[in-house]
Structure 1
Amino acid sequence: MRRSFTVALERYGYGMSAAADGLTALELFRDEQFDLLILDVMLPGLDGIGLCRRVRETSLVPVLMMSARGDGLDVVAGLEAGADDYVVKPVDTYVLVARIRSLLRRATYAPPAPAPSPGAADGDVLVFGDLTVDTAGMEVSVGGAPVALTPTELKLLLEFAAHPGVVLERHTLLRNVWEYGWDGDSRVVDLCVQRLRRKLGRERIETVRGFGYKLRR
């Protein structure tokens, strides 16, 4: 599978480095510069979950997790470890490429101009209490301290910040942030919101049961 995906993705124009186990992959990651990582959950030596955690200690590079099970603890554990999205094996190459393209777009995302808001200090900076979101500089701070967000976490926060106080449904977030053209797995939304809460403060994003989430004004 590793060889077939490497050949297929190279045909789409991607430069690839492949590793047969987690420890070798970690060495590659430390020695080279990558735009995106694809991690299989079931890696020998150091599994994909552990590898993702090690990567997140030093990097915000987009991570796509690959799992043999579409439902279960593997998916949840991968997303909690910091993965941005996941695909389930077996996966068609065109689906894998679509997820890769979506993640790479998030990594170079330029947000639309937010609607006027009482929280806006100027056209590019939004302030919600001690949370400051610089939409031009793509920087976030809480209480003046910078907060490091992955591209997916940042795009999700920007989506909330563009609609403060408005309830955003999960399928809307899947479409606007993850670019799912169909109803995807809402767990990616729930777990990414959990990661945002850990970094920004649990009270910042409110759950509206049965509907979705909203950023408190």
Structure 2
Amino acid sequence: MPSTSPGGAAMPVTARQQSIALVDDDRNILATVSIGLQAEGFATRVYADGETALKALLENPPDLAIFDIKMPRMDGLHLLQALREQCSLPVIFLTSRDEEPDEALGLAMGADDYITKPFSQRLLVARIRAILRRSELARTPPGDNAPSELPEPVVRGRLRLDPARHQVTWNGEPVSLTVTEFLILEAMALRPGVVKSRNQLMDAAYSEDVYVDDRTIDSHIKRLRRKFRAVDPDFGAIDTLYGAGYSFADG
């Protein structure tokens, strides 16, 4: 089995292997989690600090990354913030039990999930596979070999969502969304004009055992609006019904 290097050496990736990047200043965790993920068939890369990881992740993105929150030089929150400015790589946070505010902030900033230390390897692998299932078809090029049961794109006015490939366009311009942002937008766009409560949007975007508060959903909505306004300053298709929730309406 290939070895890993805390300096960030990439593991060999076969055609069917999915790659996971681990970022943690605890070398014991890096070694233990890396070995466990390799046993599950993943290729791993490990980094001992956020600054080193950021450059590597942008140059050669893995399928998913796992960040510790508390790290020297650049912590996990700042790493996620810098990463989200340039890509929508799925991210899981590792947190301690006394870091609940950081968990909420991380989810609000665009993390896809978090796991509290100490954690079981089985739980971590289950979370990884769940997130990868939601995003892996984004890497499948269209063509005759695509599975026939792939869901059809959703078109609502100027919006086009392709759930199979996790692609979004507005007026033909691509909009890069995280898995969580995509699922929230999809839940609203599937029933335009229907107000979705925050709880309904939470159910659409998160697994049953992940709790997020109202502030997290509100933060995702703000990020969605900001991303769409970057391609269309007049974007206003996400409506707020105060006290009830959000809806999508584009004529």
TM range (shorter): 0.7 to 0.9
Distance 1:67 1:189 in 2: 20
* Aligned partner of residue 155 in structure 1, secondary structure: helix
Matched, 1:8 2:36: yes
State the secondary structure of the residue aligned to 1:156: helix
Q: Which amino acid aligns with 1:38?
A: I
Maintained 8 Å contact 1:80/1:195: no
Amino acid aligned to 1:216 = A
SS of structure 1 residue aligned to 2:224: helix
Further displaced range: 13-22 or 184-193: 184-193
Is the counterpart of residue 199 in structure 1 residue 227 in structure 2?
A: yes
Q: Quick one: which of 196, 201, 205 aligns to 1:177? A: 205
Q: Find out whether 1:71 has 2:100 as its counterpart.
A: yes
Shift of 1:39: 0.9
Give the deviation of 1:19 after TM superposition: 1.3
Cα gap change, 1:30/1:125 in structure 2, threshold over 3 Å: closer, same or farther?
closer
Question: 5+ unaligned residues in a row in structure 2: which ranges?
Answer: 1-28, 139-149, 230-234
User: In structure 2, what is the Cα distance between the partners aligned to 1:38 and 1:48?
Assistant: 9
Matching residue's letter, 1:140: V
Provide closer, same or farther for how the CA distance between residues 21 and 193 of structure 1 changes in structure 2, counting only shifts above 3 A.
Answer: same
Aligned length: 203
State the distance in 2 between where 1:188 and 1:177 align. 11
Q: Which residue of 1 aligns with 2:15?
A: none
Contact 1:174–1:183 (CA<8 Å) still a contact in 2?
no
Using the TM superposition, give the Cα deviation of residue 62 of structure 1 relative to its aligned residue in structure 2, in angstroms: 0.8
Residue 165 in structure 1 maps to residue 198 in structure 2 = no
Question: 2: distance between equivalents of 1:19 and 1:112?
Answer: 37
Alpha carbon RMSD of aligned pairs, Å? 2.8
Letter in 2 for 1:127: R
Taking the aligned partners of 1:183 and 1:142, their CA distance within structure 2 comes to 30
SS at match of 1:28: helix
What TM-score results when the alignment is normalised by the length of structure 1? 0.77
CA–CA separation in structure 2 for the residues paired with 1:109 and 1:156: 18
Match for residue 182 of structure 2? Answer: 154
| Map of 1:52 onto structure 2 | 80
2:247 corresponds to which of 198, 214, 217 = 214
> Contact 2:195/2:246 (CA < 8 Å) preserved in 1?
yes
State whether residues 109 and 219 of structure 2, in contact with CA within 8 Å, keep that contact through their aligned partners in structure 1: no
Unaligned residue ranges in structure 1 (runs of 5+): 114-123
Contact 1:171–1:183 (CA<8 Å) still a contact in 2? Answer: no
Kept in 1, the 8 Å contact 2:108–2:216? The answer is: no
Alignment pair present for 1:26 and 2:54:
yes
Q: Indicate if the aligned counterparts of 2:109 and 2:220 stay in contact, CA closer than 8 A.
A: no
Give, as a single letter, the amino acid of the residue that structure 2 aligns with 1:47. D
State how far apart, in whole Å, the 2-side matches of 1:38 and 1:183 are. 16
- 2:90, 2:112 within 8 Å by CA — same for their partners in 1? yes
Kindly report which structure 2 residues correspond to 1:87-106, keeping only aligned pairs within 5 A, or say none. Answer: 87-106=115-134
The 4+ residue runs of structure 1 with deviation greater than 6 A are: none
What secondary structure is seen at the aligned counterpart in 2 of 1:13? coil
Q: What residue in structure 2 maps to residue 116 of structure 1?
A: none
**Secondary structure at the residue paired with 1:60?**
coil
Conserved? CA contact 1:85–1:188, under 8 Å: no
Percent of aligned positions that are identical: 35
Tell me which residue corresponds to 1:41: 69
Q: 1:165 to 1:112 in 2, by over 3 A?
A: farther
- Which residue in the other structure is 1:118 paired with? none
Letter in 1 for 2:180: T
